Amino acid sequence: MKSYLLVVSLLCLSKVFGQSMSEGEKMFNNYEYQRAYSIYKSLYATEEFQTEDLKRFAYSSFVIGEFQTSYNLLPRLLESENIEPYFSYMKGEVCMHLKKYGEAKQAYLNYQQLDDEYNVSVKIQSCDLINSWTDQEHIEVKNLDRNDSKADFCGVKTPYGRIEYHEEGVDSSGNEITKERIDYSELVVLKPFITDSNGVLHRLMIDEKFKYGSISSIAIHAATGIAYLTISEPISADLFKLAPHIYTGTWDSENYSILSITPWVNGGFSDSTACAHLSISENGKYMAFSKMQNDQSDIFTSQFNDNLWSVATPLTAVNTSLNEMYPLFLGDTMLSFSSDGRPGYGNLDVYTYNLTSQAINHLKSPVNGPMDDFNFIYESADSALFVSNRFGGKGDDDAYEIVFRRFIPEPVVEPDSSDYFAFFENWVDQKIYFDFDKFNLKRDVKIIDELVVLLAKYPTVSINLEAHADKRGEVGYNDVLSQKRAETVQSELEKLGISKSQITIQAKGEKEPIVDCVKCSDEIYAANRVVIITLKK
């Protein structure tokens, strides 16, 4: 009887287990990865997980940000026969999130030998560089209050207020879904809003024909009163309209509306390309936008002359063989953009580009991270806004504000005759001597205390370190030796609290000796192994 009951119990348990595994697969196939993960996690203690179940469990964990779980599953999965190359790629991504950069590099290298669907060359470079990067100094990173469970984008400031974008839901009849029920809406589209000078948020009104359009960027050309906007139509039967394109319309600042919307000449209509993420410089002379063709996104620019925009051309100094997108002008000559074609923390990273010098700067963590980071724009002198789909946010894409730690210099004290002028009048250049072929300080060397006090009190005062070597040895060697002697003195001065900005260096080598000679004595050689500290107003 006991044996019979045991068999019945095991059969029932097996049936329940099978049903649960089936439910997990159903959730997975419906893209409900959080629910699939919960089911698989509750069942993993058993030994009945097959390879396909492991794949679904590992992928669900990865998608919802349970990276440690995914990391623990992948070794067993990667030992399976005929496992897809994607899981080697996924291990690289998981390890990037866990900051296991050595393992990430090896996983990407393994994937590179198996498949080429994903270009991982830049990711491999990133694994070698990332530990050398220093985080951006900051006070805090804030998830903005207006974010909800869907996508929320920050946009540019205009003379009429800051533009921002929030996803809204509609049902099959076109009725708007309330925020409380947005997670149950049949369609979600991005809509534009503007915050006026009083902080009031206004919905921007668009032509009725674009009622179901998703609008991801707007720029207003102040000189002409024309608005440029990116629109895609996700419920259109026309495949061309499913992709974003750039349109123009008439801007009505009183009613916060854009009407009479028509296709823009550079908006991707003539060559059937997707165009989005447009931005106009503050002076109205330049426009930048991203253009996708052949499964690759590049940044294009156009110039405004004689009341017309020029033919858009690729920004070759910025574009790579991968993707560059989300350009935003920061004034007239600086542009922020996002790229996955340069070394970075993960997927899309934010960079800035100076149109004058063509210098490109990679922003460091916490602006950038392992996910997508974009739409970076300064909010004030010491803060900026950006968008990220990083884990831990409120929704799919959230807008964030970063407050930078800004250096505030001490007020400059004006010199007074009691110490400042007297010190200069009595100053005698200080000389620090070195042993032959050495650049370390002698034990008896002492920097005079009054010099340190004066430089700390008067930041406009500086010193020059003129470094010399005797003429024994090669000329090039002596140049380097004198440079090292100057740097040694500089380091000692910095330890005493003198700012590096107050110190200049001149390495003379054996040229311009303090004491010139043909047949030099040891005393003359010693006199030429010196760093001279000169005071400058």
Average pLDDT over residues 6-34: 66
Phi, psi of 511 (to 5 degrees): -75, 155
pLDDT at position 443 over 70: no
Predicted confidence band of residue 414 (pLDDT cuts 50, 70, 90): low
Q: Do domains 138-404 and 417-536 have the same CATH topology?
A: no
In the chain, what are the domain boundaries? Answer: 138-404, 417-536
pLDDT at position 11 over 60: no
The single-letter DSSP state of residue 133 is P
Percentage of the chain exceeding pLDDT 90? 53
> Distance between CA atoms of 402 and 378, rounded to whole angstroms?
9
Note the pLDDT of residue 418. Answer: 60
Neighbours of 482 (CB within 10 A): 28
> Distance between CA atoms of 118 and 105, rounded to whole angstroms?
14
> Distance between CA atoms of 505 and 483, rounded to whole angstroms?
8
Say which range, 162-176, 295-309, 385-399, has the weakest mean pLDDT. Answer: 162-176
Residue 335 and residue 353 in contact, taking contact as beta carbons nearer than 8 Å:
yes
User: Which of 3.40.50.1220, 2.30.30.100, 3.40.605.10, 3.30.1330.60 is the CATH number of 417-536?
Assistant: 3.30.1330.60
462: left (phi > 0), else alpha (psi -120 to 50), else beta? beta
228: left (phi > 0), else alpha (psi -120 to 50), else beta? beta
Using one digit for the tens of pLDDT, what is the confidence trace for 210-219? 888 899 999 9
> Distance between CA atoms of 504 and 533, rounded to whole angstroms?
10
pLDDT at position 425 over 80: no
Residue whose entry in the numeric block shows the structure tokens 């925020």 = 179
> Distance between CA atoms of 459 and 453, rounded to whole angstroms?
11
Query: Which architecture, in CATH terms, is 138-404?
Result: 6 Propeller (2.120)
Percentage of the chain exceeding pLDDT 70? 89
> What's the whole-model pTM score?
0.71
> Distance between CA atoms of 425 and 417, rounded to whole angstroms?
11
pLDDT at position 174 over 60: no
